[in-house]
Amino acid sequence: MNRSKSKGTSFETMCVEYLRRRLDDSGIERRALHGNKDMGDIYGIETHGCKGIAECKNHKSWSKADMVRWRAQTVAERENAGADFALLIVHKNGCGRTRIGESYCHMQVRDLERICGGNFTCLYGDSAKDMWICMTLEDACSLMGNDFDETR
C-alpha cells in the first residue's frame, strides 16, 4: 500500500473508532471501494431515524478546488448509497488519534436538518438546503446524539 493510501486508511479507521465510541454504535464500519459507484468511506451511521455515510479526506493541505471536488463527491456518494445524509470529514493538521473530534465536518444544510432530528429547520427555502456548513466532528456527533450544550 502506498503512503498516501495508508494515511487515508488510517484516518478512516480513526474516524470509525471515534464515531462508534461517541455515538455508542458498533454498527458503524469502513466500506470497501465500489469503483465508479463509490458509496462513501464509512457507513452505518444512524441518527434520529436517518441513515448516513461519511467521506474522509486526510491531506496536509488542500485548495478551494479540492474542497469543491470533495463536496461534489460526497453528494454523489450519498446518492449512490441511498443515504439520508452525508458527512465530509477532513483531517485537521496536528490532530492525532486523541483529538480526532477536532476534524472538520462539512455537510449540506439539508443534512444538518437530518442529523438534528427536528431540532433545526432551514427557513431560507429549498435553495439554501444545498449550501454547505462546517463544524467539528465532535459538534456533529453532539447533534446526532442530541446531547449538545446550548450554552456553548
Give the pLDDT confidence score for residue 129 in this predicted structure: 79
Q: What is the pLDDT of residues 21-70, one digit of tens each?
A: 999 999 999 987 666 788 999 999 999 999 999 999 999 899 999 999 99
Q: What is the 3-state secondary structure (H, E, C) of 63-74?
A: CHHHHHHHHHHH
pLDDT at 31: 82
The pTM score is: 0.89
Q: Would the pLDDT of 18 be above 60?
A: yes
Give per-residue burial for 13-39: e unless 16+ CB within 10 Å, then b: ebbbebbbebbeeeebebbeeeeeebb
Tens digit of each residue's pLDDT (9 = 90 or more) over 75-117: 999 999 999 999 999 999 888 778 999 999 999 999 998 998 8
Q: Where are the beta strands (DSSP E) in the chain?
A: 29-30, 42-47, 50-57, 85-90, 104-108, 132-136
**CATH class of this structure's domain 3-145:** alpha beta
Q: With cut-offs at 50, 70 and 90, classify the pLDDT of residue 151.
A: very low
Determine the pLDDT at residue 152. 41
Q: Which three cell numbers stand for residue 149?
A: 450544550
CA dihedral 137→48→69→4, nearest 10 degrees, is 50
Under DSSP, is residue 106 helix (H, G, I), strand (E, B) or coil?
Answer: strand
Residue type (1 letter), 57: K
pLDDT band at 123 (very low <50, low <70, confident <90, very high): confident
Q: Which residue is listed with cell 465536518?
A: 105
Domain edges within the chain:
3-145
Looking at residue 94, its pLDDT comes to 80
Rounded to an integer, what is the distance from CA 18 to the centroid of its chain?
12
